[in-house]
Amino acid sequence: MASALIYLRKHILSLHPEMKDAWKYSNPFFVLKGKNFCYFWKDKTSGLPYIGLMEGRMLDHPALIDDGRKRIKILLFDPAEDLKIELIDSILNEMITHY
């Protein structure tokens, strides 16, 4: 799991020149233009890691899960499988347009 998260960290930071990483609320966060953009966490029920999108409510994508949250949507991924970089890129790049 660590190698997938390390790769995703580098990849997310490369998506926009103003993207920064930070440690907030005991989580690894990504900040864009001074605003919290997304973070990594682990799902309690499945144990799978996910990318939490702070303003995920702005997107209507079938791969995103809201789990009753008002603002945040999550994108689960299985680190044992190949990462779906095209899917991740399309979602994150669409989020960047809202910032």
The full DSSP string for 27-47 is EEEEEETTEEEEEEEE-TTT-
pTM over 0.85: yes
Q: 58: closest CA among 43, 38, 77, 42? A: 38
Query: How high is the pLDDT of residue 3?
Result: 87
Domains in the chain (CATH in brackets) are 2-98 (3.90.1150.200)
Which tens digit of pLDDT belongs to each residue from 60-75? 999 999 888 899 999 9
Q: Does the pLDDT of residue 1 top 80, yes or no?
A: no
Which tens digit of pLDDT belongs to each residue from 13-43? 999 999 999 999 888 999 999 999 999 999 8
Tell me the β-bridge partners of 53: 38, 73
| Three-state DSSP state, 96 | helix
